[in-house]
Chains A and B, each alone.
Chain A
Amino acid sequence: MGELLIKNGFVFDPLQGIKGDRMDIGVKDGKIVEAGTLSAPKTIDAAGMAVMAGGVDVHSHVVGPKVNVGRLFRPEDKLFKSPHKSPTCSRMEMGCSVPSTFKTGYDYARMGYVFVNEAAMPPLHSPHVHEEIRDTPIIDNAAMPVFGNNWFTLEYLKNNEIENNAAYTAWLLRATRGFGIKVVNPGGSEAWGWGLNCVNINDPVPYFDITPAQIVKGLIETNEHLGLPHSVHLHCNNLGNPGNYTDTLDSIRLAEGYTPKNNFGREQVLHLTHLQFHSYGGDSWGNFESRAKDVMDYVNAHDNITVDIGQVTLDETTTMTADGPFEHHLCSLNHLKWANTDVELETAAGVVPYIYSPNVKVCTIQWAVGLELALFSKDLMRTFITTDHPNAGPFTRYPQVIAWLMSRAARDETMKTFKWLDRTIDATSIDSIDRELTLYEIAQMTRAGPAKALGISNTYGGLAPGMDADIAIYGLNPENMPSDPAEIEKAFSRCAWLVKDGTVTVQGGEVVAEPAKRTVWVDVKVPENAQVQRDIYEHFLRHYSVKLDNYSLFEEHLHNPRVIEVNTTE
């Protein structure tokens, strides 16, 4: 691999505190180097453009069985909705809210992203997840197995056996080649197997008789006992219901008193995902209102928390989550088609199409809540842009979300289309917020912050020498920002250049190369634990539909791994 010099760009690298300085970035053998050390580099002229690290997505549903169910049961999501015919890529690109694997990889690259964390991997189906990771070009992927409704976890945590739970967690991360601890509606998806749900953190799980509060606290302790790169990644109980912000605050408070213990530079113990869905007031759809302020006041005051917003983009999309009871609830609200599955001892999932319409008051309030979360944030290194793809909107709308955050005019333009504008303004604070985020703050929310929260900021999310040469260049001049927010959206939709691992991957918004992508996973070494080994053996003998020998991912499913090693035995 050759040398590359990116000259004269305005560099934004929050990890190093670089705020739009005019700098040169050197690349050699796929890594970033001091610009002066290059001998005969190829040059990219980035004058008048913004240079950032490749984007890092902390939470997106892009690979795995429920994503594929979404693809299969929504053929209408492809019909007349795959307009982009790339002049440079030969692979079929189709789908809108649930794009094909190829479109997923290409579209992320076109937006300047290089790392995407799959937000929920059902452990039993990890081979499927890894096969789709292999088929998603360009972007590096990690996948988090779900733990919050896993029988092993529930049993260990009920008895407060943190060490045993840690040994099991390490085993499952290796068995699924997983990245970290994801928790979806703790206890609720297991209760769904009984036709029930856990609607707050003190609602006990049937049979197991453990509360969501115990599950979350136990998993935080497990995570810090192991010292994993990422923290517990929590989708709270009672998603999407009026008045749920109190349950959300109860959930966040569970992190009080915990401090991060890890060697990866991570500073939080709990990541709250798609917070927009969890910040609602009122007690019915009639008096539904935003409580983003209350939630963000708490988050702003507590350093051991990170959040992503889960912005509603007002599109027709496909919701999919391991929160089985929620999807059933949603189906009974919109009467559209519903897919549901139970994954044995581990989790459940549901899929329902959903239309976020500017003519529906609840949808436009949801839109405002997401933006308020970001605009009320005092620390954008702890507040990240997501759309919980595809739940609140497709990831291809990130550029639109960025435009809304960077421009009051963009927000006003969208609000003009709302049927219930007055009621939306009454139920939210969006109209009183004039804050417009800067390019530096967008770089915090889309690369530096997520990389740090995921514990991968030594490799991704920054431009310091030694890091992966993942560099996105956007056609935006910070000294002369366009007055039309549509130009901001356009610039972030199609980056001028994307360099991935030192290879020019996107040029002028089109994919021109497909450098090898990686699977990032976390290998944890723990002391041998005979009891956990026996428990695993017993559960597979009695309860699983597969044998233990067939459960762990076979090596051939794992595509181009990058292993992050954690050793707890020293």
Chain B
Amino acid sequence: MKTVTLTLTKPPELMLEGQNITPDNFAGKKAAEIAALDVWEGKQKGPLGNYFTVEGDGGATAAETKIVLCGDCTRVKRVGQQMTAGEIVIEGDADMYIGGWMKGGKVHVKGNVDSFCGIGMEGGELIIDGEAYHHLGSSPRGEWRGMQGGVIRVAGNVGNDTATFINGGTIIIGGDADIHVSTHGEGGTVVIKGNAKGRVGGQMVKGDIYVFGEIENPLPGFQKVGEVEQEVDGVKGRFAHYIGDLGERHPVSKGKPVYANIYTRI
């Protein structure tokens, strides 16, 4: 695997739209060609090399290309958008839409990220060592087909509207989650190792949510049906099992209605 190192030397005044920073776009390109790729600052289009120094060439394919971003990328958006393979490491913080619509490969952010990271994700792995803001692993605006697959792992807390319309895949949150988790969900798994504020699983049809801590304001649409012993992300525990959202339609499988499940640790 070949490594391309981008170092932000001239931070943008506005936000930088970096959707071209993906292993797919870098593959098969020399450092100079990579530096000539377009990025947008506001409505101004310019070459990547205006903002970053580029060291190293891309690999032959996306899968053989690793990108390392150094410098303060808090104003760089959309890194890894729609990537299908390869690896990206962001050494510090990053802005919105990191790993959006990812299909494969791996993105590792060593700091915090803003909103909309991992939205519309179909596969691959997004790892955030710090915190994430709103709409993590959510569906794009208007879209009813949310996260389809892949894994998102956030070490810290997340904002609200996590995993809206989730259909598949897994989101693991090390800290607390704000309101609205898995709203309209129809599959997939969300694990919250801290507490959740409220509106967890609203209008959820199918899928699972695990909360290790407490849900401050649980929804009345979920009903407790029992207790279960389970291993979740390597942690064994006893959980109270709720089904819902009882106010929503539910598909029937083998003559039985399918419900969404919320498990809270006892």
Q: A residues touching B (Cβ–Cβ < 8 Å)?
A: 73-77, 79-80, 335-337, 353
Cβ–Cβ contact A76 & B143, under 8 A: yes
Is B234 positioned at the interface, with any CB of A under 8 Å from its CB? Answer: no
Cβ–Cβ contact A75 & B249, under 8 A: no
Which 9 A-B pairs have CB atoms at the shortest separation, nearest pair first?
Answer: A75-B142, A76-B143, A76-B142, A75-B141, A74-B142, A79-B140, A336-B144, A76-B140, A335-B249
Encode B129-160 as 1/0 by CB contact (under 8 A) with A.
Answer: 00000000000111110000000000000000
Give chain A residues whose Cβ lies under 8 Å from the Cβ of B143. Answer: 75-76, 79
Cβ–Cβ contact B249 & A76, under 8 A: no
Q: How far is the CB of A195 from chain B (nearest CB, A)?
A: 19
**How far apart sit A337 and B249, CA to CA, in the bound complex (Å)?**
14
Within 8 A of A (CB), among B222-250: 249
Q: How far is the CB of B77 from chain A (nearest CB, A)?
A: 15
Q: B residues touching A (Cβ–Cβ < 8 Å)?
A: 101, 140-144, 249
Say whether chain B's binding surface is mostly helix, strand, loop, or mixed: loop
Give chain A residues whose Cβ lies under 8 Å from the Cβ of B141. Answer: 75-76
**How far apart sit A76 and B144, CA to CA, in the bound complex (Å)?**
9
Cβ–Cβ contact A337 & B140, under 8 A: no
Across the two chains, which residue of chain B brings its CB closest to A77? B142
Give chain B residues whose Cβ lies under 8 Å from the Cβ of A353. Answer: 144
Q: How far is the CB of A94 from chain B (nearest CB, A)?
A: 13
**How far apart sit A553 and B164, CA to CA, in the bound complex (Å)?**
43
**How far apart sit A77 and B141, CA to CA, in the bound complex (Å)?**
10
Give chain A residues whose Cβ lies under 8 Å from the Cβ of B249. Answer: 335
Across the two chains, which residue of chain B brings its CB closest to A337? B144
**How far apart sit A381 and B101, CA to CA, in the bound complex (Å)?**
48
Q: How far is the CB of A149 from chain B (nearest CB, A)?
A: 30
**How far apart sit A335 and B206, CA to CA, in the bound complex (Å)?**
14
Give chain B residues whose Cβ lies under 8 Å from the Cβ of A73. Answer: 142
**How far apart sit A353 and B144, CA to CA, in the bound complex (Å)?**
10
Known: A76-B142, A80-B101, A335-B249. 15 other contacts (CB 8 A): A73-B142, A74-B142, A75-B140, A75-B141, A75-B142, A75-B143, A76-B140, A76-B141, A76-B143, A77-B142, A79-B140, A79-B143, A336-B144, A337-B144, A353-B144
With most chain A CB atoms within 10 A of its CB, the pick from B101, B140, B141, B142 is B142
Q: How far is the CB of A95 from chain B (nearest CB, A)?
A: 12
Give chain A residues whose Cβ lies under 8 Å from the Cβ of B144. Answer: 336-337, 353
Q: How far is the CB of B135 from chain A (nearest CB, A)?
A: 14
Give chain B residues whose Cβ lies under 8 Å from the Cβ of A336. Answer: 144
**How far apart sit A337 and B144, CA to CA, in the bound complex (Å)?**
8
Across the two chains, which residue of chain B brings its CB closest to A75? B142
**How far apart sit A75 and B140, CA to CA, in the bound complex (Å)?**
9
**How far apart sit A337 and B145, CA to CA, in the bound complex (Å)?**
12
Q: How far is the CB of A229 from chain B (nearest CB, A)?
A: 40
Q: How far is the CB of A357 from chain B (nearest CB, A)?
A: 13
Give chain A residues whose Cβ lies under 8 Å from the Cβ of B142. Answer: 73-77
**How far apart sit A74 and B145, CA to CA, in the bound complex (Å)?**
13
Q: How far is the CB of A297 from chain B (nearest CB, A)?
A: 41
Across the two chains, which residue of chain A brings its CB closest to B205? A335
Q: How far is the CB of B80 from chain A (nearest CB, A)?
A: 15
**How far apart sit A242 and B249, CA to CA, in the bound complex (Å)?**
24
**How far apart sit A493 and B223, CA to CA, in the bound complex (Å)?**
55
**How far apart sit A337 and B165, CA to CA, in the bound complex (Å)?**
13
**How far apart sit A335 and B112, CA to CA, in the bound complex (Å)?**
36
Q: How far is the CB of B252 from chain A (nearest CB, A)?
A: 13
**How far apart sit A531 and B141, CA to CA, in the bound complex (Å)?**
52
Q: How far is the CB of A81 from chain B (nearest CB, A)?
A: 12
Across the two chains, which residue of chain B brings its CB closest to A336? B144
Give chain B residues whose Cβ lies under 8 Å from the Cβ of A337. Answer: 144
**How far apart sit A77 and B142, CA to CA, in the bound complex (Å)?**
9
Give chain A residues whose Cβ lies under 8 Å from the Cβ of B140. Answer: 75-76, 79
**How far apart sit A77 and B249, CA to CA, in the bound complex (Å)?**
25
Across the two chains, which residue of chain B brings its CB closest to A353? B144
Q: How far is the CB of A332 from chain B (nearest CB, A)?
A: 9
Q: How far is the CB of A32 from chain B (nearest CB, A)?
A: 44
Across the two chains, which residue of chain A brings its CB closest to B248? A335
Q: Sample 18 A-B pairs with CB under 8 A, ordered by A number.
A: A73-B142, A74-B142, A75-B140, A75-B141, A75-B142, A75-B143, A76-B140, A76-B141, A76-B142, A76-B143, A77-B142, A79-B140, A79-B143, A80-B101, A335-B249, A336-B144, A337-B144, A353-B144
**How far apart sit A336 and B143, CA to CA, in the bound complex (Å)?**
10
Give chain B residues whose Cβ lies under 8 Å from the Cβ of A75. Answer: 140-143
**How far apart sit A353 and B142, CA to CA, in the bound complex (Å)?**
11
With most chain B CB atoms within 10 A of its CB, the pick from A335, A336, A337 is A335
Q: How far is the CB of A386 from chain B (nearest CB, A)?
A: 27
Give chain B residues whose Cβ lies under 8 Å from the Cβ of A80. Answer: 101
Q: How far is the CB of B260 from chain A (nearest CB, A)?
A: 15
**How far apart sit A429 and B144, CA to CA, in the bound complex (Å)?**
36
Q: How far is the CB of A534 from chain B (nearest CB, A)?
A: 47
Q: How far is the CB of A92 from chain B (nearest CB, A)?
A: 13
**How far apart sit A73 and B140, CA to CA, in the bound complex (Å)?**
12
Across the two chains, which residue of chain A brings its CB closest to B141? A75
**How far apart sit A79 and B101, CA to CA, in the bound complex (Å)?**
11
**How far apart sit A337 and B143, CA to CA, in the bound complex (Å)?**
10
**How far apart sit A80 and B119, CA to CA, in the bound complex (Å)?**
14
**How far apart sit A77 and B144, CA to CA, in the bound complex (Å)?**
12
Q: How far is the CB of B265 from chain A (nearest CB, A)?
A: 32
With most chain B CB atoms within 10 A of its CB, the pick from A76, A77, A337 is A76
Across the two chains, which residue of chain B brings its CB closest to A79? B140
**How far apart sit A75 and B141, CA to CA, in the bound complex (Å)?**
6
